[in-house]
C-alpha cells in the first residue's frame, strides 16, 4: 500500500486549508473582539436571530408535513411538475424571491389591496413576519422534499400490509408515518434552523432596524457603516459560537437528502378519500400559490423594465458568472476529493467537509476582512474573496450529494480498479468521473446557481463599482427603483437557471451505461 500516502494527500491538504480558513476566521474575530460584554442591541440581535430562525424552522416543518404527505399519497396531473417546483427555490437567488414577495405582500401588492377593499388592516412584509415568510418560502420546499424522500423510503409492502389489515388512515399515520417523522423531522428542523441563523440577504432586505436585525446583518452594519472592527469581531464570534453549537447538535441527527436529483414517483398507492382528499388538494394548491405568485410577480414587474436596464448590469452579470463558475468548480473538485477520501475509509475527512456548516458568509467575510485590510484595499479582492467563501459554504451540500454516489462506485469498482493497478489520476479519469457524471453535473450546476445568486460576503467587500448582479439588484431596491430591480432580477434568475441547466445537461450527456 505504498501509494496510499500519495493518494490521500490532496484531500489532506484540502482539509488543512478548510480548517485553516474556518479556524483562522474564528480565531481572527475572537482575537479582535473588543470585549465579550454584549451591549443591549447586541442581545437584541442575538434574540431576533434565534427567534426568527425558530419560527421559520417550525413553520416550514409544520407546513411541510401535510404537503409532503399529500404529494406522497396523491397522483394527479402535474405532480412531477409540483415536485420539481419544490426544488426550484433552493437555487433561487434570495434577492429575486424578496422582490417577488414584495410584489405580492407589499403595500401595493394584491394581498394588501384585497385586505384594504375588505377594510381590513394592512399586513407588512417587513420586520419579523417578513423575514419568517421569506424563510418559509425557501425552506418549506426543502423540508417537503426531504420528507417526501423519507416517505418514499417506507417499503410499499408495509402500506399494503396496513391496508390489508384494514388500518384506518389515523392508525397508518401512527404506526408507519409517525416513526418516520420522529426519525427525520428533528434533523430537518435543525438544518433549517441553521440555514436561517446565517441568513443575511433576507434580513438585509426585509429586516433591519434595531428590532429586526440578525447577527449577520449586525456584523455587516458594524463593519460597513460604523467601521467598528471590534464590535463586528465580537458579533462574528457570537455568530460562530452559535452556529458551531447548533451544527454540533445537528450532527447527531440524520438528515435525508433533499437537494439530490429528482425524487422518483415509483410508489403508487391510493390515498384515503373523503374530506382528506379535499384537505390534500387545498394544501397543495395553497403551497403552489404561495411559491408561484412571487415568481410571477417578479416576471410581471420585471418584463417592462427590460427595456430600461440599469447601467453596469452586463458587467455585474459577467462578474457574477465568473464568480459562480470559479467557485462551483473549486467546490466540486474539493467535494469529490474529500468524498472520495471518505468513501475509501478515511472517516475524519467527513467532519472537515461538514465544518463549513458552522461558518457563515459574514463570519468568514469578517475574518478575511480583518486579515486583509491592514495590507490592501479590500474592494480590490472582493471577487476572489467571494469565490473562496462561496466555494467553502457550498462544499457541505456537494459533499453530501456526492458521498453516497462515490461510496457506491467504490463498492462496485474499487476492487477491480485496484486489481488492475490504476493509479489515482487514471482511476479518476476512467472510473470515477464517468460513473459520477450525472450527479457531478447536477452538483456543479447547483453550486454555480447558489453562488450566482449569493448575496453575502460580496456586500461586505464590494466598492461602489464591482458589484455582482445580486448586489446590484439589492442596491436598486434600496434606491426604490423597483422596476429596474425586477428586470435585473429576471436576468439574474435566468442566468442562474441557465448555469444550472447547462451543467446538469453536460452531466447527463457524459453519463451513460
Nearest to 390 by CA among 453, 470, 315, 313: 453
- Residue choice 43, 279, 430, 501 for contact with another protein (CB under 8 A): 430
- Reported for 405-414, long-range contacts at CB under 8 A and 24+ positions apart, including other chains, are 405/435, 405/436, 405/439, 406/336, 406/339, 406/340, 406/342, 406/343, 406/432, 406/436, 407/342, 407/343, 409/343, 409/435, 409/436, 410/340, 410/343, 410/344, 414/344
* Cα–Cα distance measured from residue 311 to residue 500, given in angstroms and rounded to the nearest whole number: 26
- Residue choice 289, 418, 494, 509 for contact with another protein (CB under 8 A): 418
CB of 187 to another protein, least distance (A): 31
- Residue choice 120, 281, 289, 420 for contact with another protein (CB under 8 A): 420
Q: Are 22 and 354 in contact (CB under 8 A)?
A: no
DSSP code of residue 259: S
DSSP 3-state assignment of 208? strand
CB of 298 to another protein, least distance (A): 41
- Residue choice 157, 270, 464, 512 for contact with another protein (CB under 8 A): 512
DSSP 3-state assignment of 212? strand
Placement of cell 456543479 in the chain: 444
**Under the criterion CB under 8 A, does residue 70 sit at the interface with another protein?**
no
* Cα–Cα distance measured from residue 138 to residue 378, given in angstroms and rounded to the nearest whole number: 31
Q: Which range touches another protein (CB under 8 A), out of 28-36, 194-202, 400-408, 430-438?
A: 430-438
Q: Which is nearer to another protein, 195 or 427 (CB)?
A: 427
**Under the criterion CB under 8 A, does residue 434 sit at the interface with another protein?**
yes
Instruction: Work out the widest C-alpha separation in the chain, in whole angstroms.
Output: 79
CA dist 298 to 85, 98, 138, 483, Å? 16, 9, 16, 9
Binding mask 344-383 for another protein (x = CB under 8 A): ----------------------------------------
Q: Which is nearer to another protein, 40 or 421 (CB)?
A: 421
Q: Which is nearer to another protein, 76 or 430 (CB)?
A: 430
CB of 343 to another protein, least distance (A): 16
- Residue choice 426, 478, 494, 509 for contact with another protein (CB under 8 A): 426
Q: Which range touches another protein (CB under 8 A), out of 346-354, 408-416, 465-473, 493-501?
A: 408-416
- Residue choice 3, 80, 122, 226 for contact with another protein (CB under 8 A): 3
Which grid coordinates are listed for 149?
A: 424522500
- Residue choice 225, 421, 464, 480 for contact with another protein (CB under 8 A): 421
Q: Which of residues 26-65 bind another protein (CB under 8 A)?
A: none
Q: Which is nearer to another protein, 4 or 47 (CB)?
A: 4
Q: Which is nearer to another protein, 7 or 265 (CB)?
A: 7
DSSP code of residue 270: P
**Under the criterion CB under 8 A, does residue 5 sit at the interface with another protein?**
no
Which grid coordinates are listed for 101?
A: 414577495
Q: Which range touches another protein (CB under 8 A), out of 144-152, 228-236, 295-303, 416-424?
A: 416-424
CB of 349 to another protein, least distance (A): 21
CB of 4 to another protein, least distance (A): 8
- Reported for 124-129, long-range contacts at CB under 8 A and 24+ positions apart, including other chains, are 125/101, 125/206, 126/206, 126/207, 126/208, 126/212, 127/206, 127/207, 127/209, 127/211, 127/212, 128/48, 128/51, 128/52, 128/55, 128/207, 128/211, 128/212
CB of 435 to another protein, least distance (A): 6
Question: Sign of dihedral through CA atoms 237, 239, 244, 249?
Answer: positive
Q: Report residue 212: phi and psi, to 5°.
A: -135, 55
**Under the criterion CB under 8 A, does residue 422 sit at the interface with another protein?**
yes
Q: Which of residues 170-209 bind another protein (CB under 8 A)?
A: none
Q: Which range touches another protein (CB under 8 A), out of 56-64, 302-310, 414-422, 474-482?
A: 414-422
Q: Are 493 and 438 in contact (CB under 8 A)?
A: no
Placement of cell 435525508 in the chain: 256
CB of 414 to another protein, least distance (A): 9
* Cα–Cα distance measured from residue 46 to residue 62, given in angstroms and rounded to the nearest whole number: 24
Q: Which is nearer to another protein, 43 or 430 (CB)?
A: 430
Please name the residues in contact with 365: beta carbons below 8 A apart, sequence gap of 6 or more: 219, 385, 389, 456, 457, 460, 461
**Under the criterion CB under 8 A, does residue 419 sit at the interface with another protein?**
yes
Q: Which range touches another protein (CB under 8 A), out of 9-17, 269-277, 380-388, 411-419?
A: 411-419
- Residue choice 423, 463, 478, 494 for contact with another protein (CB under 8 A): 423
- Residue choice 416, 478, 494, 505 for contact with another protein (CB under 8 A): 416
CB of 409 to another protein, least distance (A): 10
CB of 425 to another protein, least distance (A): 8
**Under the criterion CB under 8 A, does residue 6 sit at the interface with another protein?**
no
**Under the criterion CB under 8 A, does residue 249 sit at the interface with another protein?**
no
Q: Which residues bind another protein (CB under 8 A)?
A: 1-3, 412-413, 415-416, 418-423, 425-426, 430-431, 434-435, 512-513
Amino acid at each position: 500500500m505504498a501509494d496510499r500516502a500519495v493518494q490521500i494527500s490532496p484531500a489532506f491538504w484540502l482539509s488543512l486549508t478548510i480548517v485553516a480558513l474556518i479556524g483562522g476566521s474564528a480565531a481572527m474575530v475572537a482575537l479582535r473582539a473588543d470585549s465579550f460584554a454584549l451591549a443591549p442591541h447586541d442581545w437584541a440581535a442575538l434574540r431576533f436571530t434565534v427567534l426568527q430562525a425558530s419560527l421559520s424552522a417550525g413553520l416550514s416543518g409544520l407546513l411541510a408535513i401535510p404537503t409532503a404527505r399529500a404529494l406522497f399519497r396523491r397522483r394527479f396531473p402535474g405532480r412531477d411538475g409540483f415536485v420539481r417546483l419544490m426544488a426550484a427555490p433552493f437555487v433561487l437567488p434570495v434577492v429575486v424571491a424578496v422582490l417577488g414577495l414584495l410584489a405580492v405582500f407589499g403595500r401595493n401588492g394584491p394581498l394588501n389591496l384585497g385586505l384594504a377593499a375588505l377594510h381590513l388592516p394592512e399586513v407588512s412584509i417587513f420586520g419579523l413576519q417578513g423575514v419568517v415568510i421569506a424563510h418559509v418560502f425557501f425552506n418549506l420546499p426543502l423540508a417537503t422534499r426531504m420528507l417526501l424522500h423519507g416517505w418514499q423510503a417506507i417499503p410499499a409492502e408495509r402500506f399494503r400490509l396496513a391496508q390489508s389489515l384494514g388500518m384506518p388512515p389515523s392508525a397508518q399515520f401512527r404506526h408507519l408515518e409517525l416513526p418516520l417523522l420522529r426519525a427525520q423531522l428533528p434533523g430537518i428542523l435543525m438544518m433549517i434552523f441553521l440555514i436561517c441563523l446565517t441568513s443575511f440577504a433576507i434580513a438585509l432586505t426585509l429586516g433591519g432596524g434595531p428590532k429586526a436585525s440578525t447577527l449577520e446583518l449586525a456584523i455587516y452594519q458594524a463593519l460597513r457603516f460604523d467601521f467598528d472592527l471590534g464590535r463586528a469581531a465580537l458579533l462574528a464570534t457570537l455568530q460562530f459560537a452559535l452556529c458551531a453549537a447548533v451544527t454540533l447538535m445537528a450532527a447527531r441527527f440524520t438528515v435525508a437528502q433533499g437537494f439530490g436529483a429528482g425524487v422518483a414517483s415509483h410508489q403508487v398507492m391510493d390515498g384515503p378519500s373523503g374530506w382528506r382528499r379535499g384537505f390534500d388538494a387545498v394544501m397543495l394548491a395553497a403551497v403552489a400559490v404561495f411559491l408561484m405568485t412571487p415568481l410571477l410577480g417578479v416576471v410581471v414587474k420585471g418584463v417592462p423594465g427590460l427595456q430600461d436596464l440599469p447601467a453596469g448590469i452586463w458587467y455585474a452579470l459577467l462578474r457574477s458568472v465568473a464568480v459562480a463558475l470559479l467557485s462551483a468548480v473549486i467546490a466540486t473538485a474539493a467535494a469529490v476529493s474529500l468524498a472520495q477520501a471518505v468513501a475509501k475509509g478515511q472517516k475524519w475527512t467527513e467532519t472537515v467537509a461538514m465544518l463549513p456548516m458552522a461558518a457563515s458568509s459574514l463570519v468568514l467575510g469578517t475574518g478575511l476582512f480583518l486579515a486583509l485590510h491592514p495590507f490592501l484595499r479590500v474592494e480590490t479582492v472582493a471577487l476572489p474573496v467571494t469565490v473562496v467563501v462561496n466555494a467553502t459554504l457550498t462544499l457541505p451540500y456537494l459533499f453530501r450529494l456526492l458521498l453516497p454516489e462515490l461510496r457506491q462506485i467504490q463498492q462496485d469498482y474499487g476492487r477491480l480498479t485496484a486489481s488492475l493497478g490504476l493509479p489515482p489520476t487514471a482511476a479518476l479519469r476512467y472510473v470515477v468521473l464517468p460513473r459520477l457524471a450525472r450527479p457531478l453535473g447536477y452538483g456543479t450546476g447547483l453550486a454555480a446557481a447558489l453562488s450566482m445568486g449569493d448575496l453575502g460576503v460580496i456586500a461586505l467587500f464590494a466598492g461602489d463599482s464591482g458589484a455582482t448582479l445580486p448586489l446590484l439588484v439589492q442596491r436598486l431596491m434600496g434606491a426604490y427603483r423597483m422596476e429596474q430591480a425586477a428586470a435585473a432580477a429576471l436576468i439574474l434568475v435566468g442566468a442562474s437557471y441557465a448555469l444550472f441547466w447547462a451543467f446538469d445537461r453536460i452531466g447527463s450527456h457524459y453519463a451513460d451505461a
